[in-house]
Amino acid sequence: MNEERLRADLVLEYPFTRTTGPVIGAFMTGLREGIIIGIRRADGTVVVPPLEYDPTSADPLTELVTVGQAGVVESWTWVDPPREQSPWQQPHGLALIHLDGADTPLLHGVLVNSADAMSTGMRVVAKFRAEREGHISDIEGFVPEESVQ
């Protein structure tokens, strides 16, 4: 009898499709059109990405607004190797980005060559993909603002 360890790959895979509702849908529509959309809370602050409800009071939020495509890195880490399922094939930064005109951070990738190029406070700008469908990964990632000036 062959006593070698029995093992097998168990792969759970499904092409989930999620309906967005109007608010998340508007954000995704914006990405497809190359803009970034947030939503205004009762106190005037802007949440990006937009929520259908106030995260504290649960009251509905309705006023969608366009925010800037550039902002400041509030915190970051370096992802190497990239995670198998992520949109990124290369080592990359992952950052909380405070966009201009927004009051909350957005989590996304930062496309630089090494962790040495990352720092808190750096300004980054969204790099959109050429082909867009309305998906969080329509933004390929954020790049240092000086690199596009």
For residues 86-115, which are near another protein according to CB under 8 A?
A: 86-87, 94-96, 103-109, 115
Residue 64 makes contact with another protein by CB under 8 A: yes
Q: For residues 104 and 49, is the Cβ–Cβ distance under 8 A?
A: no
Contact 51, 61 (CB under 8 A): yes
Which residue in 20, 7, 75 sits closest to 51, CA to CA? Answer: 20
144: DSSP letter: E
C-beta of 49 vs 149, nearer to another protein: 49
Binding residue for another protein (CB under 8 A) from 113, 135, 146, 148? 135
Single-letter amino acid code for the residue at 64: L
Q: Which is nearer to another protein, 31 or 125 (CB)?
A: 31
Q: Taking a C-beta distance cutoff of 8 angstroms, is the pair 40, 63 a contact? A: yes
CB of 80 to another protein, least distance (A): 9
Q: Contact between 143 and another protein (CB under 8 A)? A: no
Decide: is 32 part of the binding site for another protein (CB under 8 A): yes
Containing 99, the helix (H) or strand (E) segment is strand 92-99
Does 43 bind another protein (CB under 8 A)? Our answer is no
Q: CA 15 to CA 23: how far, in whole Å?
A: 23
DSSP state for residue 60 in the 8-state scheme: B
Q: Which of 44, 56, 89, 131 touches another protein by CB under 8 A?
A: 56
Residue selected from 72, 117, 123, 137 as contacting another protein according to rule CB under 8 A: 137
Q: Which of 42, 68, 72, 76 binds another protein (CB under 8 A)?
A: 76
